[in-house]
């Protein structure tokens, strides 16, 4: 009997939820983004939406979304505020893997998100197009699910349009593929598009 290579041991996939908080402005909808501290094991230094893994006490992923939003931002949302947008599965090769349901939600009136705890070191409201521009200028680092979600949201003119579009979307699992070539690490989406970190 030979020992297996630890690098070949499958990484368990945990369920998770992410919430895209949106608000309207005169220039169009903005999304709430936060940057993970560089000491985090997974996605260190990445700009992300609020969210996290499902706890054993969470009845479902809606409960996870509500809990994580309050824990990370102080914003209290209800299950009825949430509409599923997409579902992403972390590809093999990552040190942690998640099956994450992305929700969109309008920021409840009278509330303002603030970074809570020690997982985030900065927060910002940005229009999706501006967030994408900052990524292209290497001012923000993002994982593909965040980047693609912002690109999808950028075509909508107000929060109501986003929520209407979400209600019509068919949510299918998206699992990118990691690869290495002469240009370094790449991420291939199911439709063949390649993203570079």
DSSP 88-150: EEPPTTSSSEEEEEEEEEEPPTT------TTSEEEEEEE-HHHHHHHHHTTSS---HHHHHHH
Express each pLDDT in 70-111 by its tens digit: 999 999 999 999 999 999 999 888 888 999 999 999 999 999
Residue from 42, 68, 45 nearest 55 by CA: 68
Q: What does the alpha-carbon distance between residue 183 and residue 195 come to, in Å, rounded to a whole number?
A: 11
Express each pLDDT in 114-172 by its tens digit: 887 777 777 899 999 999 999 999 999 898 999 999 999 999 999 999 999 999 999 99
Query: Residue 102 is encoded by which pair of tokens?
Result: 């992305």
* pTM attached to this predicted model: 0.89
- What CATH number is associated with residue 135? 3.90.79.10
User: Is residue 188 a contact partner of residue 102, using CB atoms and an 8 Å limit?
Assistant: no
Give me the pLDDT at residue 42, please: 61
109 contacts: CB under 8 Å, gap ≥ 6: none
Give me the pLDDT at residue 6, please: 44
Q: Report if residue 111 sits inside a domain.
A: yes
Q: Report if residue 19 sits inside a domain.
A: yes
User: Is residue 49 a contact partner of residue 20, using CB atoms and an 8 Å limit?
Assistant: yes
User: Is residue 157 a contact partner of residue 28, using CB atoms and an 8 Å limit?
Assistant: yes
> Which DSSP symbol is given to 155?
T
Give me the pLDDT at residue 183, please: 80
Number of domains present in the structure of the chain: 1
Q: Is the pLDDT of residue 5 over 50?
A: no
Q: Report if residue 66 sits inside a domain.
A: yes
**Overall average pLDDT of the 50-65 stretch:** 96
Give me the pLDDT at residue 94, please: 80
For 143, the domain range is 6-195
Give me the pLDDT at residue 4, please: 37
Q: Report if residue 1 sits inside a domain.
A: no
């Amino acid at each position: 009997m030979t020992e297996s290579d630890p690098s070949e041991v499958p990484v368990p996939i945990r369920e998770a939820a992410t919430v895209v908080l949106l608000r309207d402005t005169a220039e169009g909808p903005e999304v709430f983004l936060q940057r993970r501290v560089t000491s985090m094991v997974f996605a260190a230094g990445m700009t992300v939406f609020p969210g996290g893994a499902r706890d054993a006490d969470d009845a479902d992923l809606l409960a996870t979304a509500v809990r994580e939003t309050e824990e990370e931002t102080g914003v209290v949302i209800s299950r009825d505020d949430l509409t599923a947008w997409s579902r992403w599965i972390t590809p093999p090769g990552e040190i942690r893997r998640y099956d994450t349901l992305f929700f969109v939600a309008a920021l409840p009136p009278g509330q303002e998100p603030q970074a809570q705890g020690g997982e985030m070191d900065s927060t910002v409201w940005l229009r999706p197009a501006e967030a994408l521009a900052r990524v292209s200028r290497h001012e923000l680092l993002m994982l593909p699910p965040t980047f693609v979600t912002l690109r999808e949201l950028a075509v909508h003119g107000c929060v109501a349009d986003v929520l209407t579009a979400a209600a019509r979307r068919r949510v299918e699992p998206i699992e990118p593929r990691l690869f290495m070539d002469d240009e370094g690490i790449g991420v291939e989406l199911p439709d063949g598009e390649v993203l570079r970190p």
